[in-house]
Amino acid sequence: MSAGTTRAAKAPPEKKIGPFANGVGVTIWLNRIETDQGSRQVRSIAINPRRYFDRESNQWKDASGYNPSDLPAIIFALTKAQEYCYETPLPDTAADEDSMTPEDDGRF
């Protein structure tokens, strides 16, 4: 970064679920997007990678996949994320719009 420039601070996640064993968990992010109808907020969900200690490099690393034993924690975290997203209105959304189910507005 050059002198005189500033970088906006990265916003923290809206919600974290976990981490559980091996570092797996879910993070819910609040994002602002531009649409034809103007700016609006949407959520995105990220599944945290499984972590492991590499003895060769003596460092913690992210795995590219999950073990079968990680699945219960991932399923639990995703279920909690779904509940949070359906039950928690977006900050800039009217309560009546956000209370619609996915079936009501044709998304599913």
What pTM does this model have?
0.71
pLDDT by residue for the chain (108 residues), tens digit each?
555 666 667 889 999 999 998 899 999 999 998 889 888 899 999 999 999 999 999 999 999 999 999 999 999 999 999 999 999 999 877 554 544 455 545 454
Outline where DSSP puts E strands in the chain.
15-17, 26-35, 38-47, 51-54, 59-62
